[in-house]
Structure 1
């Protein structure tokens, strides 16, 4: 029996950092035809599913990853790093032609530009073994899977809900920009919805600058979803959690130097879930999430 099954992507992140990678006005300035030599190079696991799984495992939740791993040169590295982190790969599927790889350029302040290639994986949940695994967990995290159809995600969420597991849901930009009546068919099965401020803006079809997150966003925008806990992370401004009657706020913690912001959101989510599964206390879970996010951005690597 697992505490959490994390459903999402796993891949390889390759980090490059150097003074030769000129960063100005929020962009890397790279010349066409140029060749750049970097002073620092780092590889680690990436992908939202893996980041949350590893983070939750580190925070005391017995965790398995449900994902696709390619049968390629990176397979051994991926499986070894997951195993070393204590994350089970029991429900991972191996595909001959699948690849998920990112090149990440880092500035001195931890700002990043990501170049990603990922083989489409529309049929992620066709294994009966995977579905049976969802009966053997207390909670499920369903991360951003833009290539999986909304219909399949709704079917999966309904299955999880009907089998009495808590569903922690994250939505990417593509899903947030869907028509409200479409995406509500997925959100209604979630126990907890976790998005950042800009994703929430897309979700509710209101410009970010006009949103006052100190108001009860759940009561305003999701009044009919009585059992939903809504969590919105807002970068340096902190994070918020909303139920039908209460707004909880968590400030960010100070960090001496930001090295890499790549895994901040996933780190927050991982620690939040691990705490919430155990205590069902949103304020405590937000505090744990904020603390772990700071640890993540103080080093290179998303987990």
Structure 2
């Protein structure tokens, strides 16, 4: 087995978020299901961008957010994802490296522009996302850095990668390399609409052991098993995958295996400003704890802490040093 050079390697869509406040009427007028993630083309992106209110541009992308969050907790992290060599591509590359994440995927010199996600945030903090995948969907298996994968304790993949066919192959290639090196593979189900598109394929990934650890929220879990009953879905989840983390918003989170269920409460938040990145940062905290060898309950608490920090402000990357916060709360010595 090769030596460990990274704690967590994440692979996903390299996206710059444009985040703006909105109201329910705007969502209804544009036919957007609240809380959803919808894929749009470049023309739709331009139209919606023109109709949105003033926006804040912040580097995002689910797996990239997780890498940045885990790095803030002191983990050695890397990210693989594709941008175009344009203005937004330069912003993304700068931001992820500035967060302490190893990033070496070559930018495309032609083809579609760097991906962007137009995030509309309502007064209750709920985010509705419209994503133009652009260059991100051109990530291929050839761009999976085998040495990075072999040297990472956990390779974490986002469910959104299942949308572009070439990226799907990259996903499977990374999982195979990781397992050949005796490493762990994690998958986030990303959102309920993503699960709706690929339910049978995600279940197959779990049941055949392509992934070892699954992250999801209750909505995604219910979509996965096509049920309104969380308890029955949990029973099935425990049969289908070695381990899983299920987030439950203000009700905390669960870590489940075939043999046990561990729970932890949510961290209190004074005001929920923007839920963008909550799941990404929860995964960051849990993975940072797991690679430190911490017990599942503490890993869940680290996830809850990271999620609480990110939903207290606009944007999906931490604004405070999460390692300092974790130490202040007695979670890491």
TM-score w.r.t. length of structure 1: 0.84
1:76-126 Cα distance to aligned partner (Å, 9 max, x none)? 211211121111112x23223242112222222212222221126255221
Kept after mapping to 1: 8 A contact 2:13/2:133: no
* Cα distance in structure 2, aligned partners of 1:210 and 1:107: 28
Which residue does 2:124 correspond to in 1? 109
Report deviation, 1:8.
Answer: 0.8
Number of residue pairs the alignment of both structures matches = 287
Q: Tell me, which stretches of 5 or more residues in structure 2 are unaligned?
A: 32-46, 318-333
Matched, 1:230 2:244: yes
1:219-298 aligned at under 5 Å gives the runs: 219=238, 221-222=239-240, 228-298=242-312
* Cα distance in structure 2, aligned partners of 1:182 and 1:85: 34
Q: Which has the higher helix share?
A: 2
The equivalent position to 2:223 in structure 1, one of 193, 197, 202, is 202
Report deviation, 1:237.
Answer: 2.7
Matched, 1:125 2:126: no
Kept after mapping to 2: 8 A contact 1:217/1:242: no
The equivalent position to 1:11 in structure 2, one of 12, 15, 20, is 15
Kept after mapping to 2: 8 A contact 1:22/1:30: no
Change (3 A) 1:284 1:214: farther
Change (3 A) 1:242 1:272: same
Change (3 A) 1:72 1:43: same
* Local SS of the residue matching 1:269: helix
1:20-62 Cα distance to aligned partner (Å, 9 max, x none)? x4435xx635489998684x53211111121011001001111
Matched, 1:212 2:231: yes
| Range that drifts further, 143-152 or 157-166 | 143-152
Change (3 A) 1:94 1:112: same
Which residue does 2:24 correspond to in 1? 23
Q: Tell me, which stretches of 5 or more residues in structure 1 are unaligned?
A: none
